[in-house]
Structure 1
Amino acid sequence: MEKRGKSFDSLMRHIRNSHNIEIRGSEDKKRLVNIGYYHGYKGYKFNKDVAHPFIGIHNFEQIVAIANFDQQMKTIFYPITMKFETIIKNLIVNYSVLGIDPSFDNVYRQKLTFYRSQRGRRRTKSINKRLRLKKDFDSEIAYAYASNNIVIKHYIEENKSVPLWALFEVISLGNVGNYVACLNREDKEKVADFLNLYNSQYDENVKILEQSIFLIKDLRNAVAHNHIIFDCRFRKAQNVAQNLKATVKNKLHLEAETNFDILFDYLALLMIFLKESGNSRSELNSYITDFENSVNILYKSTEEIAHNKEPLPYSVYNLIIGERFKLKLNKLKEYIN
């Protein structure tokens, strides 16, 4: 039989009859319209392991509580990730062009030379990465020119090499990470030292910068495109680099390393970058307070969502927030202040 799209009323019947989720009435229908069936209901009924729905979710109000928390997290993380991107771009450009011709062509020759410190297959891999970067940056310039970017258009039409600062205004955060991967070790170390992030004991090649960029890039893109983030399903890397785990653990004086499978871990890493780059304590504390308030709202839903409705199970809350949240939060506050 040919499948046909369902109305919202039909979707509500399907949710009740096939998924055993209590949903009925005009208020629930409005909520379903607002969060959507596929993006919202289906997205929030499951943890990142989509084969297994949350145990104990029996009514739509519980799903709405998770959806509201997810939306609040996106509101909180959007300005923080944007600030991170601005800071990291500014620092990299500054140390890349210091005392030399700032054109990208010149920087490419003089500064994107990490491959020289490598041997064998690693050297070949680094050279290939550097060549791909040049190709990607040329494509970014061409796209910016076709899109009438006035700065890029000026340099191209004047037959001048585009300066690195102008190029960094149009490239993606992912390509910033690719750039840092090709950057010579000396300049990487200068940026990491400025941020008090370099530790030669476990980061010989100063990979902390590119690892941080690629990790935050996944969160930043998910937030910017309104994807679900509450369970960190946006994370592409199977394993997070030991550098990042150790950095958060050491800076916050935690007993155990973070695994970046809860949003607090991302907040902690971002706060480290923002604090070490000179952002005010009051601003950082406001981000932390907003995060804490959203968690408290979710926690209250574990006590009582609405009259005669089942509460959100503590097991689901703990999966989303993680263990020992209050202790970690206090450690972050101590670090900031």
Structure 2
Amino acid sequence: MSNDKFFLTYNQQMRKLRNDKHIICEGSSHKKILVRAGYFNIVNGYKNPFVSGQDSQGNHFYIAGTSIDQLHYVKKFDDQLRSFLLRYITQVEEEARTLTAYKFDECNDNGSISWYDTNAYSPNRSLQEKMDVISRAYNELSQSRLDYVKFYMDNHAQIPTWIMIKVVNFSTFIDIINVSKTDVSHSLCNLYGLEDKNLQPNVKLLIGCLHWMRKIRNSCAHNERIYCLTRKKNTHERSGRILEKYFQSLSRGYTRDLNQKIFDLIVYFKYFLPRSEYKQFILTLKNMLSDLQSKIHPHAFENIRGQMGIKNLSDLDTLLAIPKDEIVYNKFDK
């Protein structure tokens, strides 16, 4: 068993960082960081941006002058980024669920065809697909402990669509959109400007956006590292970057890199957020990045920027400046 598997006191941890890793860690303020964050959370979690190479035994060495403070700054940035993105993801998710429930009932004779009836879904989908999603929705409703779900189960003959859509898991919600009648997915695409090169509703883009939001939201909820989150291109699973119109308006590097990263979410928000809200989102993100840039080594910052999928910080301004139509919510029911 290697030495780093044994229990180490905080003072021993500090000596290990200084002597073995040559990371500056001394004094009460640095010890406080280790006590509050934990060695694994801060060192193993956030050392990678500072790695400058490794020796013949595979041991890392770090950018000269790296300190525990700088690792802590990256952790605090990641914590802030996690909360920041989660706030916007849940906002988009809630709105999309509300709109889907409304359009679902509108497309089914104003709700006279119930969501648990296979006739409420697309005739182009197999009976098995429709039964699977209905069964999952039933199961998730039955396991819910929410007061309003219990109230409807105890006092009504059926659960209304809006409650079902609100309660089911994010992945089940996405599958409901996928198997619903065409008007449901197309109305969402039309509202948010999700169009293909022929200006037709791009359902693939809609589903892809929502799935990447779901992945990031789940990682946020489990307190995982966010800035470096990546989903590699997998042809078999049809995962990876969706080369939509905003990526096409940026540098060619974005169309060559087919892995999904945090920058993909930043792009997707341009569809789902009104212009004023998106502007505020970008400005806040830029401030967060600028603050981090001022506190850590330039090479470490460039590593973090790259792992987020941002080729150049000026691309955030370019993305913001790309014209887009305002979201016209008042015409959703027309």
TM-score, normalised on structure 2?
A: 0.78
Q: 1:87 to 1:159 in 2, by over 3 A?
A: closer
Q: 1:236 to 1:242 in 2, by over 3 A?
A: closer
Q: 1:238 to 1:24 in 2, by over 3 A?
A: farther
Residue 200 (structure 1) shift: 6.8
1:38 corresponds to 2:55:
no
Q: Pick one of 246, 249, 252 that aligns with 1:248.
A: 246
Equivalent position SS for 1:327: helix
Cα shift readout 1:297-319 (whole Å, capped 9, x = no counterpart): 12223xxx5xxxx6654542442
Contact 2:18-2:24 within 8 A present in 1 as well: yes
Cα shift readout 1:227-247 (whole Å, capped 9, x = no counterpart): 2101124x4875775783314
TM-score, normalised on structure 1?
A: 0.77
Q: Pick one of 101, 104, 124 that aligns with 1:93.
A: 101
Equivalent position SS for 2:203: coil
Distance (whole Å) between structure 1 residues aligned to residue 169 and residue 85 of structure 2: 18
1:288 corresponds to 2:282:
yes
- 1:268 match: 267
Equivalent position SS for 1:244: coil
Kindly indicate whether structure 1 or structure 2 has the higher relative contact order, using CA contacts under 8 Å at least 6 residues apart: 1
Distance (whole Å) between structure 1 residues aligned to residue 78 and residue 72 of structure 2: 10
Contact 2:282-2:316 within 8 A present in 1 as well: no
- 2:213 match: 216
After TM superposition, list the pairs within 5 Å mapping 1:43-82 onto structure 2. Answer: 43-46=45-48, 56=63, 58-82=66-90
Distance (whole Å) between structure 2 residues aligned to residue 90 and residue 193 of structure 1: 16
Which runs of 5 or more structure 1 residues have no equivalent in the other structure? none
- 1:163 match: 160
Distance (whole Å) between structure 1 residues aligned to residue 35 and residue 43 of structure 2: 10
Residue 197 (structure 1) shift: 0.6
Residue 159 (structure 1) shift: 4.9
After TM superposition, list the pairs within 5 Å mapping 1:69-148 onto structure 2. Answer: 69-98=77-106, 100=109, 102=111, 105-106=114-115, 108-113=117-122, 116-117=123-124, 127-144=127-144, 147=145
Contact 2:22-2:61 within 8 A present in 1 as well: no
Contact 1:103-1:162 within 8 A present in 2 as well: no
What is the identity percentage for the equivalent residue pairs of Structure 1 and Structure 2?
19
Distance (whole Å) between structure 2 residues aligned to residue 101 and residue 54 of structure 1: 65
- 2:320 match: 332
Distance (whole Å) between structure 2 residues aligned to residue 325 and residue 54 of structure 1: 27
The code of the aligned residue for 2:285 comes to: F
- 1:154 match: 151
Residue 162 (structure 1) shift: 0.7
After TM superposition, list the pairs within 5 Å mapping 1:162-241 onto structure 2. Answer: 162-199=159-196, 201=198, 206-233=203-230, 235=231, 238=234
How many pairs does the alignment contain? 308
Distance (whole Å) between structure 1 residues aligned to residue 197 and residue 155 of structure 2: 44
Q: 1:196 to 1:9 in 2, by over 3 A?
A: same
Contact 1:21-1:60 within 8 A present in 2 as well: yes
Q: 1:254 to 1:107 in 2, by over 3 A?
A: farther
Contact 2:152-2:159 within 8 A present in 1 as well: yes
Root-mean-square deviation (CA, aligned residues, Å) is 3.4
Contact 2:113-2:119 within 8 A present in 1 as well: no
Which runs of 5 or more structure 2 residues have no equivalent in the other structure? 50-57, 327-334
Contact 2:267-2:319 within 8 A present in 1 as well: no
Contact 1:112-1:184 within 8 A present in 2 as well: yes
Residue 28 (structure 1) shift: 1.1
Distance (whole Å) between structure 2 residues aligned to residue 331 and residue 52 of structure 1: 40
Distance (whole Å) between structure 2 residues aligned to residue 270 and residue 331 of structure 1: 11
Equivalent position SS for 2:94: helix
Q: 1:334 to 1:295 in 2, by over 3 A?
A: same
The code of the aligned residue for 1:162 comes to: I
Equivalent position SS for 1:117: coil
The code of the aligned residue for 1:28 comes to: H
Q: 1:177 to 1:9 in 2, by over 3 A?
A: farther
- Quick check: 219-228 or 85-94, which moved more? 219-228
The code of the aligned residue for 1:174 comes to: S
Q: 1:229 to 1:29 in 2, by over 3 A?
A: same
- Quick check: 186-195 or 56-65, which moved more? 56-65
Distance (whole Å) between structure 2 residues aligned to residue 198 and residue 107 of structure 1: 30
